[in-house]
Chain A
Protein backbone atom coordinates (compact mmCIF):
# COMPACT_ATOMS: atom_id res chain seq x y z
CA UNK A 1 0.00 0.00 0.00
CA UNK A 2 1.76 3.13 -1.19
CA UNK A 3 1.53 6.58 0.27
CA UNK A 4 -0.98 8.82 -1.47
CA UNK A 5 0.31 11.82 -3.36
CA UNK A 6 -1.77 14.37 -1.53
CA UNK A 7 -0.82 16.95 1.07
CA UNK A 8 0.22 15.26 4.29
CA UNK A 9 -1.59 17.42 6.76
CA UNK A 10 -4.74 19.41 6.67
CA UNK A 11 -2.96 21.88 8.89
CA UNK A 12 -5.92 23.63 10.33
CA UNK A 13 -9.06 22.41 11.95
CA UNK A 14 -11.86 21.43 9.62
CA UNK A 15 -14.57 23.87 10.56
CA UNK A 16 -18.30 23.27 10.29
CA UNK A 17 -19.75 25.48 7.61
CA UNK A 18 -23.32 26.35 6.78
CA UNK A 19 -24.43 25.01 3.42
CA UNK A 20 -27.68 26.02 1.74
CA UNK A 21 -29.65 23.77 -0.56
CA UNK A 22 -29.81 25.35 -4.02
CA UNK A 23 -31.37 22.49 -5.95
CA UNK A 24 -32.33 18.87 -5.51
CA UNK A 25 -32.16 16.45 -8.45
CA UNK A 26 -33.67 12.99 -8.27
CA UNK A 27 -31.18 10.46 -9.62
CA UNK A 28 -33.50 7.50 -9.26
CA UNK A 29 -36.30 6.43 -6.97
CA UNK A 30 -34.09 6.13 -3.91
CA UNK A 31 -31.39 8.73 -4.40
CA UNK A 32 -31.11 12.48 -4.93
CA UNK A 33 -28.29 14.85 -5.64
CA UNK A 34 -28.18 17.89 -3.37
CA UNK A 35 -26.67 20.98 -4.94
CA UNK A 36 -25.28 23.11 -2.13
CA UNK A 37 -24.04 26.62 -1.83
CA UNK A 38 -21.04 26.65 0.51
CA UNK A 39 -19.55 30.17 0.54
CA UNK A 40 -16.13 29.27 1.94
CA UNK A 41 -15.62 25.92 0.28
CA UNK A 42 -11.84 25.35 0.07
CA UNK A 43 -12.06 22.98 -2.92
CA UNK A 44 -11.52 19.24 -2.90
CA UNK A 45 -10.11 16.25 -4.73
CA UNK A 46 -12.35 13.91 -6.66
CA UNK A 47 -13.17 10.98 -4.38
CA UNK A 48 -13.15 12.87 -1.08
CA UNK A 49 -16.15 13.07 1.22
CA UNK A 50 -17.77 15.49 3.62
CA UNK A 51 -19.27 15.15 7.05
CA UNK A 52 -22.85 16.39 7.25
CA UNK A 53 -24.42 17.51 10.52
CA UNK A 54 -28.13 18.05 11.00
CA UNK A 55 -29.43 19.74 14.12
CA UNK A 56 -33.03 19.56 15.37
CA UNK A 57 -34.80 22.34 17.22
CA UNK A 58 -34.17 20.71 20.59
CA UNK A 59 -30.44 20.64 19.91
CA UNK A 60 -30.22 16.96 18.99
CA UNK A 61 -27.77 16.49 16.15
CA UNK A 62 -26.75 13.65 13.88
CA UNK A 63 -23.71 13.29 11.65
CA UNK A 64 -23.02 11.21 8.56
CA UNK A 65 -20.35 11.09 5.86
CA UNK A 66 -21.21 11.45 2.16
CA UNK A 67 -19.03 11.30 -0.92
CA UNK A 68 -18.73 14.43 -2.99
CA UNK A 69 -20.19 14.07 -6.47
CA UNK A 70 -19.09 17.37 -7.98
CA UNK A 71 -15.85 18.18 -9.74
CA UNK A 72 -13.31 20.01 -7.57
CA UNK A 73 -13.74 23.36 -9.29
CA UNK A 74 -17.51 23.25 -9.73
CA UNK A 75 -19.48 26.29 -8.69
CA UNK A 76 -21.54 24.36 -6.17
CA UNK A 77 -20.76 21.46 -3.91
CA UNK A 78 -22.83 18.38 -4.73
CA UNK A 79 -23.46 15.22 -2.77
CA UNK A 80 -25.65 12.33 -3.88
CA UNK A 81 -27.56 10.68 -1.08
CA UNK A 82 -29.24 7.31 -1.19
CA UNK A 83 -32.21 6.88 1.11
CA UNK A 84 -31.41 4.10 3.58
CA UNK A 85 -34.34 2.15 5.05
CA UNK A 86 -34.63 3.71 8.50
CA UNK A 87 -31.96 6.33 7.90
CA UNK A 88 -32.68 9.33 10.05
CA UNK A 89 -30.31 11.54 8.08
CA UNK A 90 -30.62 10.17 4.55
CA UNK A 91 -34.43 10.21 4.56
CA UNK A 92 -34.43 13.86 5.61
CA UNK A 93 -31.82 14.83 3.03
CA UNK A 94 -33.62 13.03 0.20
CA UNK A 95 -37.17 14.05 1.14
CA UNK A 96 -37.21 16.72 3.83
CA UNK A 97 -34.58 19.39 3.23
CA UNK A 98 -36.09 22.14 1.07
CA UNK A 99 -34.43 24.58 -1.30
CA UNK A 100 -33.12 27.45 0.82
CA UNK A 101 -32.81 25.33 3.97
CA UNK A 102 -29.49 25.25 5.82
CA UNK A 103 -27.45 22.30 6.97
CA UNK A 104 -23.88 22.03 8.17
CA UNK A 105 -20.95 20.30 6.61
CA UNK A 106 -17.22 20.11 7.05
CA UNK A 107 -14.55 18.84 4.76
CA UNK A 108 -13.25 17.79 2.42
CA UNK A 109 -12.07 14.64 4.17
CA UNK A 110 -10.08 11.64 3.00
CA UNK A 111 -6.96 11.62 0.88
CA UNK A 112 -6.64 8.02 -0.24
CA UNK A 113 -9.60 7.23 -2.47
CA UNK A 114 -8.85 10.19 -4.73
CA UNK A 115 -7.92 10.82 -8.33
CA UNK A 116 -6.32 13.90 -9.86
CA UNK A 117 -5.32 14.57 -13.44
CA UNK A 118 -2.17 12.79 -14.54
CA UNK A 119 -2.16 10.39 -11.60
CA UNK A 120 -2.32 7.17 -13.64
CA UNK A 121 -2.07 5.97 -17.24
CA UNK A 122 -5.45 4.24 -17.17
CA UNK A 123 -8.26 4.32 -14.66
CA UNK A 124 -10.74 1.54 -14.01
CA UNK A 125 -13.78 2.50 -11.95
CA UNK A 126 -15.94 -0.24 -10.43
CA UNK A 127 -19.05 1.02 -8.65
CA UNK A 128 -21.84 -0.80 -6.86
CA UNK A 129 -25.09 1.13 -6.38
CA UNK A 130 -24.47 4.55 -4.86
CA UNK A 131 -20.77 3.67 -4.76
CA UNK A 132 -20.69 5.33 -8.16
CA UNK A 133 -20.84 8.76 -6.50
CA UNK A 134 -17.11 9.35 -5.85
CA UNK A 135 -16.35 7.70 -9.21
CA UNK A 136 -18.60 10.24 -10.90
CA UNK A 137 -16.64 13.00 -9.17
CA UNK A 138 -13.52 11.54 -10.82
CA UNK A 139 -15.22 11.46 -14.24
CA UNK A 140 -16.29 15.06 -13.78
CA UNK A 141 -12.84 16.11 -12.60
CA UNK A 142 -11.34 14.47 -15.68
CA UNK A 143 -13.75 16.36 -17.91
CA UNK A 144 -13.13 19.66 -16.15
CA UNK A 145 -9.37 19.23 -16.55
CA UNK A 146 -9.73 18.02 -20.16
CA UNK A 147 -7.50 15.17 -19.04
CA UNK A 148 -7.01 12.48 -21.73
CA UNK A 149 -6.42 9.55 -19.34
CA UNK A 150 -8.55 6.62 -20.55
CA UNK A 151 -11.33 5.83 -18.07
CA UNK A 152 -13.59 2.81 -17.90
CA UNK A 153 -16.61 2.72 -15.59
CA UNK A 154 -18.40 -0.50 -14.74
CA UNK A 155 -21.48 0.23 -12.67
CA UNK A 156 -23.39 -2.55 -10.96
CA UNK A 157 -27.05 -1.77 -10.20
CA UNK A 158 -30.09 -3.83 -9.40
CA UNK A 159 -32.14 -2.76 -12.43
CA UNK A 160 -32.11 -0.13 -15.17
CA UNK A 161 -34.23 2.14 -12.95
CA UNK A 162 -31.50 2.18 -10.32
CA UNK A 163 -28.85 3.84 -12.46
CA UNK A 164 -27.35 7.19 -11.49
CA UNK A 165 -26.38 10.21 -13.59
CA UNK A 166 -27.90 8.60 -16.65
CA UNK A 167 -28.26 11.61 -18.99
CA UNK A 168 -24.69 12.68 -18.25
CA UNK A 169 -23.24 9.21 -18.69
CA UNK A 170 -25.24 8.78 -21.91
CA UNK A 171 -23.75 11.98 -23.29
CA UNK A 172 -20.41 10.45 -22.48
CA UNK A 173 -16.90 11.81 -22.67
CA UNK A 174 -14.12 11.11 -25.16
CA UNK A 175 -11.97 8.33 -23.73
CA UNK A 176 -14.58 7.22 -21.20
CA UNK A 177 -16.29 3.86 -21.63
CA UNK A 178 -19.29 3.10 -19.45
CA UNK A 179 -21.01 -0.21 -18.94
CA UNK A 180 -23.74 -1.38 -16.59
CA UNK A 181 -24.15 -4.69 -14.81
CA UNK A 182 -27.61 -5.66 -13.61
CA UNK A 183 -27.93 -7.83 -10.57
CA UNK A 184 -31.71 -8.43 -10.59
CA UNK A 185 -33.39 -7.17 -13.75
CA UNK A 186 -31.69 -6.67 -17.10
CA UNK A 187 -33.10 -4.59 -19.91
CA UNK A 188 -34.53 -6.59 -22.79
CA UNK A 189 -31.98 -7.82 -25.26
CA UNK A 190 -29.09 -8.22 -22.84
CA UNK A 191 -27.42 -11.58 -23.17
CA UNK A 192 -25.81 -11.44 -19.73
CA UNK A 193 -28.21 -12.94 -17.19
CA UNK A 194 -28.80 -10.73 -14.15
CA UNK A 195 -26.42 -11.42 -11.30
CA UNK A 196 -23.65 -10.06 -9.17
CA UNK A 197 -20.29 -9.14 -10.64
CA UNK A 198 -18.32 -12.11 -12.02
CA UNK A 199 -14.82 -12.63 -13.32
CA UNK A 200 -15.89 -12.52 -16.96
CA UNK A 201 -17.53 -9.14 -16.37
CA UNK A 202 -14.10 -7.78 -15.50
CA UNK A 203 -12.03 -9.66 -18.08
CA UNK A 204 -14.47 -8.63 -20.79
CA UNK A 205 -14.28 -4.97 -19.85
CA UNK A 206 -11.12 -4.04 -17.97
CA UNK A 207 -7.58 -3.61 -19.21
CA UNK A 208 -5.31 -6.58 -18.52
CA UNK A 209 -3.32 -6.41 -15.28
CA UNK A 210 0.00 -6.05 -17.15
CA UNK A 211 -1.05 -2.55 -18.19
CA UNK A 212 -1.33 -1.60 -14.49
CA UNK A 213 -4.56 0.37 -14.52
CA UNK A 214 -5.39 2.26 -11.33
CA UNK A 215 -8.53 0.62 -9.98
CA UNK A 216 -11.05 2.40 -7.78
CA UNK A 217 -13.72 0.17 -6.27
CA UNK A 218 -16.60 1.64 -4.27
CA UNK A 219 -19.88 0.25 -3.10
CA UNK A 220 -21.48 -1.91 -0.43
CA UNK A 221 -19.10 -4.23 1.41
CA UNK A 222 -20.15 -7.37 -0.48
CA UNK A 223 -19.63 -5.73 -3.87
CA UNK A 224 -16.24 -4.29 -2.95
CA UNK A 225 -14.98 -7.52 -1.38
CA UNK A 226 -16.01 -9.49 -4.47
CA UNK A 227 -14.76 -7.01 -7.04
CA UNK A 228 -11.42 -6.40 -5.30
CA UNK A 229 -10.88 -10.15 -4.87
CA UNK A 230 -11.62 -10.69 -8.57
CA UNK A 231 -9.12 -7.99 -9.51
CA UNK A 232 -6.33 -9.42 -7.36
CA UNK A 233 -7.23 -12.93 -8.57
CA UNK A 234 -6.76 -11.77 -12.15
CA UNK A 235 -3.31 -10.49 -11.26
CA UNK A 236 -3.93 -6.82 -10.60
CA UNK A 237 -1.42 -5.39 -8.12
CA UNK A 238 -3.12 -4.76 -4.73
CA UNK A 239 -1.21 -1.48 -4.61
CA UNK A 240 -3.21 -0.36 -7.65
CA UNK A 241 -6.57 -1.14 -6.09
CA UNK A 242 -8.13 1.49 -3.88
CA UNK A 243 -11.36 0.69 -2.15
CA UNK A 244 -14.11 2.46 -0.30
CA UNK A 245 -16.76 0.33 1.34
CA UNK A 246 -19.93 1.33 3.02
CA UNK A 247 -21.98 -0.94 5.20
CA UNK A 248 -25.69 -1.51 4.73
CA UNK A 249 -26.25 0.52 7.85
CA UNK A 250 -25.28 3.94 6.48
CA UNK A 251 -28.15 6.05 7.39
Chain B
Protein backbone atom coordinates (compact mmCIF):
# COMPACT_ATOMS: atom_id res chain seq x y z
CA UNK B 1 0.00 0.00 0.00
CA UNK B 2 1.19 3.48 -0.83
CA UNK B 3 1.75 6.40 1.50
CA UNK B 4 -1.58 7.61 2.89
CA UNK B 5 -2.49 11.19 2.06
CA UNK B 6 -4.45 12.50 5.07
CA UNK B 7 -8.09 13.18 4.36
CA UNK B 8 -8.08 11.60 0.92
CA UNK B 9 -11.13 9.38 0.60
CA UNK B 10 -11.69 9.03 -3.13
CA UNK B 11 -14.87 8.01 -4.81
CA UNK B 12 -17.25 5.43 -3.39
CA UNK B 13 -15.72 2.01 -4.09
CA UNK B 14 -17.49 0.39 -6.96
CA UNK B 15 -17.08 -3.24 -7.78
CA UNK B 16 -14.39 -2.47 -10.27
CA UNK B 17 -13.34 -5.84 -11.55
CA UNK B 18 -13.43 -4.39 -15.03
CA UNK B 19 -11.01 -1.63 -14.09
CA UNK B 20 -7.29 -2.44 -14.40
CA UNK B 21 -5.01 -1.13 -11.63
CA UNK B 22 -4.50 2.63 -11.59
CA UNK B 23 -7.39 3.31 -14.00
CA UNK B 24 -10.63 5.22 -13.52
CA UNK B 25 -13.80 5.04 -15.55
CA UNK B 26 -14.78 7.88 -17.85
CA UNK B 27 -17.94 8.32 -19.88
CA UNK B 28 -16.34 10.76 -22.31
CA UNK B 29 -14.07 9.67 -25.11
CA UNK B 30 -10.88 11.68 -24.57
CA UNK B 31 -8.54 12.26 -27.51
CA UNK B 32 -4.79 11.77 -27.30
CA UNK B 33 -2.49 12.32 -30.23
CA UNK B 34 1.02 13.67 -30.59
CA UNK B 35 0.30 16.00 -33.49
CA UNK B 36 -2.38 17.48 -35.71
CA UNK B 37 -5.17 15.20 -36.90
CA UNK B 38 -4.43 14.02 -40.45
CA UNK B 39 -7.41 14.09 -42.84
CA UNK B 40 -7.42 11.12 -45.20
CA UNK B 41 -10.10 10.80 -47.85
CA UNK B 42 -11.53 7.31 -48.20
CA UNK B 43 -10.72 7.25 -51.92
CA UNK B 44 -7.06 7.81 -51.05
CA UNK B 45 -7.01 5.40 -48.13
CA UNK B 46 -5.02 2.20 -48.39
CA UNK B 47 -3.93 -0.46 -45.96
CA UNK B 48 -0.91 -2.64 -46.67
CA UNK B 49 0.53 -5.67 -44.94
CA UNK B 50 4.20 -6.19 -45.80
CA UNK B 51 5.95 -9.42 -44.85
CA UNK B 52 9.55 -9.81 -43.73
CA UNK B 53 10.39 -10.96 -47.26
CA UNK B 54 8.80 -7.91 -48.85
CA UNK B 55 5.53 -9.46 -50.04
CA UNK B 56 2.77 -6.88 -50.02
CA UNK B 57 -0.97 -7.33 -49.52
CA UNK B 58 -3.05 -4.18 -49.99
CA UNK B 59 -6.68 -3.20 -49.53
CA UNK B 60 -8.36 -0.01 -50.61
CA UNK B 61 -11.48 1.32 -48.88
CA UNK B 62 -13.96 -0.60 -51.04
CA UNK B 63 -12.00 -3.82 -50.63
CA UNK B 64 -11.72 -3.45 -46.86
CA UNK B 65 -15.38 -2.69 -46.31
CA UNK B 66 -16.43 -5.53 -48.61
CA UNK B 67 -14.79 -8.04 -46.27
CA UNK B 68 -16.85 -9.71 -43.55
CA UNK B 69 -16.95 -7.35 -40.58
CA UNK B 70 -17.54 -7.83 -36.89
CA UNK B 71 -19.12 -5.61 -34.27
CA UNK B 72 -16.97 -5.93 -31.17
CA UNK B 73 -18.04 -4.24 -27.93
CA UNK B 74 -14.92 -3.69 -25.88
CA UNK B 75 -13.46 -1.82 -22.91
CA UNK B 76 -10.66 0.68 -23.65
CA UNK B 77 -7.80 1.42 -21.28
CA UNK B 78 -5.60 4.47 -21.93
CA UNK B 79 -2.19 4.77 -20.30
CA UNK B 80 -3.20 8.28 -19.18
CA UNK B 81 -5.48 6.48 -16.68
CA UNK B 82 -8.96 6.63 -18.19
CA UNK B 83 -10.92 3.53 -19.09
CA UNK B 84 -14.10 3.52 -21.11
CA UNK B 85 -16.45 0.56 -20.97
CA UNK B 86 -18.60 -1.01 -23.67
CA UNK B 87 -17.42 0.91 -26.70
CA UNK B 88 -19.04 -0.37 -29.89
CA UNK B 89 -17.03 -0.72 -33.08
CA UNK B 90 -17.33 -2.15 -36.56
CA UNK B 91 -14.34 -3.52 -38.38
CA UNK B 92 -12.53 -6.36 -40.06
CA UNK B 93 -10.73 -8.88 -37.89
CA UNK B 94 -6.98 -9.10 -38.45
CA UNK B 95 -7.56 -12.86 -38.65
CA UNK B 96 -9.33 -12.18 -41.94
CA UNK B 97 -6.74 -9.75 -43.26
CA UNK B 98 -3.77 -11.90 -42.32
CA UNK B 99 -5.30 -15.24 -43.35
CA UNK B 100 -3.52 -15.41 -46.69
CA UNK B 101 -0.27 -13.83 -45.52
CA UNK B 102 2.69 -16.18 -45.33
CA UNK B 103 5.17 -15.25 -42.66
CA UNK B 104 7.59 -16.56 -40.09
CA UNK B 105 7.65 -13.23 -38.26
CA UNK B 106 6.76 -12.91 -34.59
CA UNK B 107 6.32 -9.13 -34.36
CA UNK B 108 4.68 -6.27 -36.19
CA UNK B 109 5.25 -2.57 -36.62
CA UNK B 110 1.99 -0.76 -37.25
CA UNK B 111 2.25 2.57 -39.07
CA UNK B 112 -0.21 5.38 -39.55
CA UNK B 113 -0.87 8.28 -41.87
CA UNK B 114 0.96 11.17 -40.21
CA UNK B 115 3.96 9.03 -39.25
CA UNK B 116 2.85 7.39 -36.00
CA UNK B 117 4.15 3.88 -35.31
CA UNK B 118 3.63 1.24 -32.64
CA UNK B 119 5.07 -2.25 -32.26
CA UNK B 120 3.72 -5.45 -30.73
CA UNK B 121 3.84 -9.25 -31.05
CA UNK B 122 1.97 -10.65 -34.05
CA UNK B 123 0.09 -13.01 -31.72
CA UNK B 124 -1.68 -10.03 -30.19
CA UNK B 125 -3.30 -9.19 -33.51
CA UNK B 126 -4.67 -12.72 -34.03
CA UNK B 127 -7.35 -14.97 -32.51
CA UNK B 128 -10.16 -12.44 -32.49
CA UNK B 129 -8.22 -9.86 -30.48
CA UNK B 130 -7.73 -7.09 -33.05
CA UNK B 131 -9.56 -5.32 -35.87
CA UNK B 132 -9.12 -2.68 -38.52
CA UNK B 133 -12.08 -0.63 -37.34
CA UNK B 134 -13.98 1.79 -39.56
CA UNK B 135 -17.16 2.29 -37.54
CA UNK B 136 -17.72 3.61 -34.03
CA UNK B 137 -21.00 3.65 -32.15
CA UNK B 138 -23.05 3.11 -35.27
CA UNK B 139 -21.34 5.81 -37.30
CA UNK B 140 -18.07 6.59 -39.07
CA UNK B 141 -15.01 7.02 -36.86
CA UNK B 142 -14.43 10.78 -36.45
CA UNK B 143 -11.00 11.91 -37.68
CA UNK B 144 -9.82 12.85 -34.17
CA UNK B 145 -10.56 9.30 -33.05
CA UNK B 146 -8.59 7.80 -35.90
CA UNK B 147 -10.98 7.75 -38.85
CA UNK B 148 -11.35 6.72 -41.54
CA UNK B 149 -9.86 3.55 -40.04
CA UNK B 150 -7.81 2.66 -36.99
CA UNK B 151 -6.33 -0.42 -35.44
CA UNK B 152 -8.34 -1.70 -32.48
CA UNK B 153 -6.41 -3.95 -30.11
CA UNK B 154 -8.25 -3.33 -26.85
CA UNK B 155 -6.47 -5.81 -24.60
CA UNK B 156 -3.39 -3.55 -24.70
CA UNK B 157 -3.16 0.10 -23.62
CA UNK B 158 -4.91 2.23 -26.19
CA UNK B 159 -1.77 3.80 -27.72
CA UNK B 160 -1.30 0.41 -29.43
CA UNK B 161 -4.60 0.92 -31.26
CA UNK B 162 -3.00 3.13 -33.91
CA UNK B 163 -5.25 5.83 -35.35
CA UNK B 164 -5.28 6.56 -39.10
CA UNK B 165 -3.76 3.12 -39.68
CA UNK B 166 -1.91 2.74 -42.96
CA UNK B 167 0.03 -0.48 -42.77
CA UNK B 168 1.55 -3.37 -40.87
CA UNK B 169 5.13 -4.49 -41.36
CA UNK B 170 5.90 -8.02 -40.18
CA UNK B 171 9.21 -8.24 -38.35
CA UNK B 172 11.37 -11.06 -36.97
CA UNK B 173 12.05 -9.09 -33.75
CA UNK B 174 10.28 -6.52 -31.58
CA UNK B 175 11.06 -2.92 -32.45
CA UNK B 176 9.98 0.16 -30.54
CA UNK B 177 7.45 2.46 -32.18
CA UNK B 178 6.72 6.08 -31.39
CA UNK B 179 5.70 5.97 -27.72
CA UNK B 180 7.77 2.85 -27.03
CA UNK B 181 10.84 4.91 -28.04
CA UNK B 182 9.80 7.68 -25.67
CA UNK B 183 9.76 5.67 -22.48
CA UNK B 184 6.49 3.77 -22.70
CA UNK B 185 6.35 0.01 -22.24
CA UNK B 186 7.10 -2.28 -25.18
CA UNK B 187 4.07 -4.49 -24.56
CA UNK B 188 1.57 -2.42 -22.55
CA UNK B 189 -0.71 -4.85 -20.72
CA UNK B 190 -3.15 -2.75 -18.64
CA UNK B 191 -3.83 -5.62 -16.22
CA UNK B 192 -0.12 -5.82 -15.36
CA UNK B 193 0.06 -2.00 -15.38
CA UNK B 194 2.85 -1.97 -17.96
CA UNK B 195 2.82 1.78 -18.54
CA UNK B 196 6.48 2.67 -18.82
CA UNK B 197 9.77 0.95 -19.63
CA UNK B 198 10.68 -1.26 -16.69
CA UNK B 199 7.11 -1.63 -15.37
Contacts and interface: CB of A to CB of B under 8 A. Distances in A.
A232 interface: yes
Nearest to A100: B6
B13 to A, nearest CB: 6
Interface in B27-74: 27-38
Contacts of B33: 243, 245
A13 B198 contact: yes
A116 to B, nearest CB: 14
Interface in A201-235: 221, 224-225, 228-229, 231-232
Nearest to A92: B8
A54 B37 CA distance: 34
A53 B82 CA distance: 14
Contacts of B26: 247, 249, 251
B17 to A, nearest CB: 15
Contact of A56 (B8, B29, B176, B199): B8
B127 interface: no
Given A11-B197, A249-B27, A54 B10 contact: yes
A249 B28 contact: yes
Interface string A89-131: 0001000111001111000011111000000000000000000
A248 interface: yes
A251 B82 CA distance: 10
A251 to B, nearest CB: 6
Interface string A1-36: 111101011111110101000000000000000000
A223 to B, nearest CB: 11
Given A57-B4, A92-B8, A238-B38, A245 B81 contact: no
Contact of B114 (A12, A65, A238): A238
A39 B24 CA distance: 29
A63 B23 CA distance: 7
B116 interface: yes
B35 A103 contact: no
B3 A251 contact: no
Contacts of A231: 36
Q: Which of B8, B115, B195 has the most chain A CB within a 10 Å cutoff?
A: B8
Nearest to B183: A10
A104 to B, nearest CB: 5
Contacts of A6: 182
A228 B36 contact: yes
A41 interface: no
Contact of B144 (A12, A55, A109, A221): A221
A56 B115 contact: no
A241 interface: yes
A216 to B, nearest CB: 11
B4 A55 contact: yes
Q: Which of B36, B176, B182 has the most chain A CB within a 10 Å cutoff?
A: B36
Contacts of B191: none
A238 B27 CA distance: 30
Contacts of B32: 245
Contact of B2 (A61, A64, A239, A247): A61
Contacts of B182: 4, 6, 110-112
Interface of A: 1-4, 6, 8-14, 16, 18, 51, 53-57, 59-65, 88, 92, 96-98, 101-104, 109-113, 221, 224-225, 228-229, 231-232, 238-239, 241-243, 245-249, 251
Given A16-B2, A96-B8, 8 more contacts: A1-B116, A18-B3, A64-B81, A98-B6, A112-B179, A243-B34, A245-B33, A249-B82
